[in-house]
Amino acid sequence: MTREHPAAIQRSATEIGQHIAGWRKVLGLTAAQVADRADITRSTLRKLEHGDPSVGFHVVLRVARALGILEPITAALDPLDTDLGRARAAQLDRKRVR
């Protein structure tokens, strides 16, 4: 079954895929090496790098870990690292762990 994705989702998936491919290249790793380290197929990595938004979230996380960028991605999404998040921290169920 083919599903249509909103343009914003497709643009972001494409951009994230390009960033993943860029990290792989900057690190001097082949697609086979990254796929092996992430325990996925090269075909799945190719889909991710080409912006296929149907690639599972777990795959993105495994590839990020294989590239050594999982922690920076996780940190980038922390609302407590933003002014708005800190201002509304009381609405969160947690406090900064770091």
**Domain encompassing residue 83:** 72-98
pLDDT one digit per residue (tens) for the chain, 98 residues? 446 779 999 999 999 999 999 999 999 999 999 999 999 999 999 999 999 999 999 999 999 999 999 999 999 999 999 999 999 998 887 655 55
If asked whether residues 85 and 59 sit together in one domain, one would say: no
- Any domain includes 1: no
Q: Which of 79, 52, 77, 74 is nearest to 61 (CA)?
A: 74
Q: Token pair of 89, please?
A: 């921290």
- Any domain includes 2: no
Q: What is the CATH number of the domain that holds 35?
A: 1.10.260.40
If asked whether residues 95 and 55 sit together in one domain, one would say: no
If asked whether residues 29 and 49 sit together in one domain, one would say: yes
If asked whether residues 48 and 85 sit together in one domain, one would say: no
How many angstroms separate the CA atoms of 78 and 16, rounded?
18
If asked whether residues 52 and 76 sit together in one domain, one would say: no
